[in-house]
Chain A
């Protein structure tokens, strides 16, 4: 299977603190992959490495087989979009003005927005179902609306790979489901999805592959069924056995299958 993104022995750290050491994995083109792991394990860092906003300290990140370090940042920005967790906008920018910034990789010194760019912005707004919000002020939106606008901003880049940092965080269950459905519809359009996910309940049936990043374990990848084993989760998240309802539910799930 073709991989849109691959990490070869990638290491990264902030100053003396090593966050990621020799990470090896592949993200196959066209599917939804989730990234899970305890707080501070380096999930955001890993996504930034994939988007090229942080340079790998060692090893190599490949995008469609080409090393990121060989690509121009505009080229990268036309293939990968990262929807960040933290996103604050000063001044009263409207939703449309924010999403228009997603066209930046297609503009040059003297080439401003053309009709084509406007169509791409319309499509992005439409996809993320925020067309009705386009004249609203971004800073006045609710958490769920903001999350969708951030995704529209990423979509305006017309990426092949969409990276999302905790897209379901701070959303109520209704908005969580809407967001997951949005990711699926994007996936059906051919966009590869790689998202860090905090709520482990959302993994099953929604993601075909899960990557587990934990400081105490080697990087692991598998189906939700393979990764969501109580023994593995207890170790990875350093959680006392049977203390969390999710763990009990998983124990029940596996015993039923046995």
Chain B
């Protein structure tokens, strides 16, 4: 299964870099990789400087959001949690905005203030929404969705507020606008290397949390009765989830529902065991977003639509379907 998904990801990436205003045959790319064919200088630049970074960024963002969704769904014991829905993306976004406009030159231990503030923003939002949605060791789904909705709306518009204040334009504003729409731009290679290290590493670190998510599914009190330190586990989930969200937001801004759909579909095939779900969710998330971004930039070619908009078109109805399903099964 994992081998199959890895192979699929490879193929999808290949076709994605081949697709665009200037078509490059996938066969030629493979031949070039093995040194049996030379591409023209223009093709080289298009592939290495423009398309590949973007495709890799989509894969990273997809994996990060899907795993963050899996973590949050397990934490809230509910299939409707996702970094966007519960506001953690919005929190990361606002944190990053504050970083861009006030502390763009600062950095700590090699991490820019922007990245750290994005991480902090996501954490703070999680804590707020979590404490609002919990009562007596249970998550009230309606409260969770309402709290998540209001917090992410507030945070989204706070980010617009910054954008509106900063009318003198410049690169800051351009970044912000693309984030709000959910555009996967072409990241710099340095940015790609940092997030490319953080995201897979965090997914690996999340592995020991997966068995605990299975135990947590029985409820907080039961997990405690089984000798699990529920508080530590929750903190671990919130931190890893926020780290993944912040990394994803720094590459692509607000992308809705990706973290909702992928874990859900994976669960339909594999069942709810989080240990088995983690690698599959990460790989499928990557595949899913690479495909989505390729469609977003090629369907209306030469015009490009932000992948965030495409995701809202796919994810919105899917979310409503989940809502209807849980209303039927009486879990709402």
Q: Which A positions have Cβ atoms within 8 angstroms of B? A: 48, 51-53, 72-78, 81-82, 84, 87-94, 97-98, 100-102, 104-105, 107, 109-110, 112, 157
Footprint of A on B, CB under 8 Å? 77-79, 208, 211, 214-215, 217-219, 221-229, 267, 271-273, 331
B273:A97 contact, CB within 8 angstroms? yes
Q: List 9 contacting pairs A-B, 8 Å CB cutoff, sorted by A.
A: A73-B227, A73-B228, A74-B227, A77-B225, A87-B219, A90-B272, A91-B79, A104-B227, A157-B226
- Central interface residue in B79, B214, B218, B225, by most chain A CB within 10 Å: B225
Closest to A91 in B: B272
Q: How far is the CB of A20 from chain B (nearest CB, A)?
A: 18
CB contacts (< 8 Å) of B218 on chain A: these are 87, 89, 98, 101
The answer on a CB contact under 8 Å between B227 and A112 is no
Q: Shortest beta-carbon distance, A52 to chain B, in Å?
A: 8
Instruction: Determine the chain B residues whose CB is within 8 A of the CB of A87 once the complex forms.
Output: 218-219, 222
- For the complex of A and B, the 7 pairs showing the least CB-CB separation, nearest first, are A77-B227, A91-B272, A105-B227, A74-B227, A104-B226, A90-B77, A73-B227
In the bound complex, do residue B227 and residue A101 qualify as a contact, i.e. CB atoms below 8 Å apart? no
A77, A89, A94, A110: the one within 8 Å of B208 (CB): A110
Q: Could you tell me the distance in whole angstroms from the C-beta of B69 to the nearest C-beta in chain A?
A: 14
- CB-based contact B215/A91 at 8 Å: no
> Are A82 and B225 CB-contacts (below 8 A) given A88-B219, A104-B215?
yes
By a CB distance below 8 angstroms, the chain A residues around B226 are: 77, 101-102, 104-105, 157
Among A73, A82, A88, A90, max chain B CB count under 10 A is at A90
Return chain B residues, CB-CB under 8 Å to A78. 227
Selected contact of B227 from candidates A76, A88, A90, A93, CB within 8 Å: A76
Q: Complex: how many Å from CA A92 to CA B211?
A: 16
CB < 8 Å neighbour of B211 from A53, A90, A112 = A112
Q: Once the chains are docked, how many angstroms separate the CA of A105 from the CA of B217? A: 16
Further pairs besides A90-B331, A93-B271: 11, Cβ < 8 Å: A82-B225, A87-B219, A88-B219, A90-B79, A91-B267, A93-B214, A93-B217, A93-B273, A97-B271, A101-B226, A110-B208
A residues less than 8 Å from B78 (CB atoms): 90
Task: Indicate the member of B78, B79, B214 with the most A CB atoms within 10 Å.
Answer: B214
Q: Which residue of B lies closest to A153 (CB)?
A: B218
Contact B77 A107 (CB under 8 A): no
Report yes or no: B272 in contact with A101, Cβ–Cβ below 8 A: no
Chain A residues, Cβ within 8 Å of B227: 72-78, 104-105
Question: Complex Cα distance A125/B148, Å?
Answer: 40
Instruction: Provide the residues of chain B in CB contact with A104, threshold 8 Å.
Output: 215, 223, 226-228
Instruction: State A72–B214 Cα separation when bound (angstroms).
Output: 21
In the complex the two chains form, is A93's CB within 8 Å of B272's CB?
Answer: yes
